[in-house]
Structure 1
Amino acid sequence: MMEPAIEPPGPPPAQGEEEHLSLALANSAIALPGGHTIDLLGTPAQTNRWLTERGLAPVDAGMREMCAAQLRSLREQIRSLFASRAEGLPALPAAITAINDAMTRVPTAPLLRWDDKTGPYRTAPHPTTAIVDHALATLAADAADLLTGPAADRLTACGSTPCNRYLLRHGRRHWCSTRCGDRARAARAYARRTNSA
């Protein structure tokens, strides 16, 4: 019997992830020191687990690679918009389009289809596709709410290299975790010692 692969633990949730699922999605690819990364959406099973932990999919949703890829793609578009907002730069039109497309993916009724042999019929999307579309729409709407709401001014990138996560700043804190804050303080102390020597 094979032992399941143990994933290295990632940092704790960044400030604001509990309130904003889109922030948790943006932070689901974590850059670590030494050029290592953790991708919480790296496989369909990991994607299913991530969605289940956030109430966006049942445990047995049966994610496929296409579903995981759609979520990873939305993550990159949201990260692009968060970077634009945090740095005060214009947003990429493709990122805006991706968010709007995701928000409008969930049909409210069975869609009309046409079979060349049997003619018109109505059908709901495949159950897994419906779950993924609902999750994408929920995450995109949350990103839009975050970017246009009062918390947008507090959105910032973690100030510790090489961390690539975002957080909602409270006070002067601009690190996503204690680990990143400690690493940044240690780097500053090392730079001071090196410069004074």
Structure 2
Amino acid sequence: MRETVTAESVPPPAPGAADYVALDFANSAIALPGGQFIDLLGTPESTNRWLAERGLAPPGAGVQEMCVTQLRSLREHVRALLAARVAGLPALPAALAAVNDALTRAPTAPLLYWDEKRGPYRAAPCPVNEVLDHALATLAANTADLLTGPDAERLITCDSSPCNRYLLRHGRRHWCSTRCGDRARAARAYARRSRPKPG
């Protein structure tokens, strides 16, 4: 069941998302209690808004459904890599290939151009049709930075079922939000009360 996205239904960014847009990207598909699901990249309009709010595309960039599909696909590969890192398992080759492919989509160096009047000059290309490639490359690079940097040791999944979000652990906190922490504590309290009393 898909839920209409409202400000109240979307949890706040998980710890670490302010430092790693890759975490925010992976967490843009949110599982909620009761089988509900929010996809912040569910439509071209919501995807345009998500990209613009994170500085990955200009407002009104006009990202179309085909581009949204590519972003969702990369998100699943990023989630697979984060899951492998958290579980201490080898990465899926397809996920690695997808992130590496995205890394090569945006040039890292300004290209050489030639103007008839000014002569040679260098500039980074980023016409509107390359907005998606820029966003994919930025998200992939940030994923690689997270997975290979010192914060990778703190990467965990939220410890409140059914939440599927990732976060960077701070101290003993194992939840992505206060809402998830409250839900996990309530579930533990209910489980304690429901245990049969030794008789």
TM (norm. structure 1) is 0.87
Shift of 1:129: 3.2
Q: Indicate the SS of the match to 1:67.
A: helix
Whole-Å separation in 2 of the counterparts to 1:129 and 1:78: 23
- Aligned equivalents of 2:24, 2:38: Cα separation in 1: 14
Any runs of at least 4 consecutive aligned residues in structure 1 with deviations exceeding 6 A, and if so which?
Answer: none
Structure 2 residue aligned with 1:56: 56
From the superposition, tell whether residues 126 and 15 of structure 1 become closer, same or farther in structure 2 (CA, over 3 Å): closer
- Are 1:48 and 1:57, in contact at CA under 8 Å, matched by a contact in 2? yes
Cα pair 2:102 2:140 within 8 Å, conserved: yes
DSSP 3-state at the match of 1:31: strand
- The answer to whether 1:31 aligns with 2:4 is no
CA 1:23–1:88: 2 relative to 1, 3 Å:
same
Matching residue of 2:117? none
Encode CA deviations 1:52-81: one digit per residue, 9 max, x unaligned.
000111112001001111111111000000
Tell me if structure 1 keeps the 8 A contact 2:21–2:139. yes
Correspondence for 2:5: 7
**Deviation sequence 1:58-114 (CA, Å, 0-9, x none):** 11200100111111111100000000000101100010111110000114549xxxx
Q: Indicate the SS of the match to 1:50.
A: helix
Structure 1 unmatched ranges of 5 or more: 1-5, 111-123
* Pair 180,58 (structure 1): closer, same or farther in 2 beyond 3 Å: same
Task: State the partner residue of 1:175.
Answer: 175
CA distance in 2, matches of 1:128, 1:46: 18
Range moving further from structure 2, 66-75 or 126-135: 126-135
Match of 1:117?
A: none
Instruction: Give the Cα separation in 1 of the matches to 2:37 and 2:11.
Output: 12
Q: How does 1:64-79 map to 2 (within 5 A)?
A: 64-79=64-79
Task: Let me know the Cα RMSD of the aligned residues.
Answer: 1.9
Size of the alignment, in residue pairs?
180
Per-residue Cα deviation, 1:146-190 (whole angstroms, up to 9, x for no partner): 000000000000000000000000111110000000000000000
Maintained 8 Å contact 2:29/2:39: yes
Q: Secondary structure at the match of 1:30?
A: strand
8 Å contact from structure 2 (residues 40, 46) kept in 1: yes
1:100 maps to 100
Amino acid at match of 1:168: L
Quick one: distance in 2 between partners of 1:16 and 1:73?
22
- Which residue matches 1:41? 41
Contact 1:30 1:163 in 2 (8 A): yes
In structure 2, what residue type is equivalent to 1:27? N
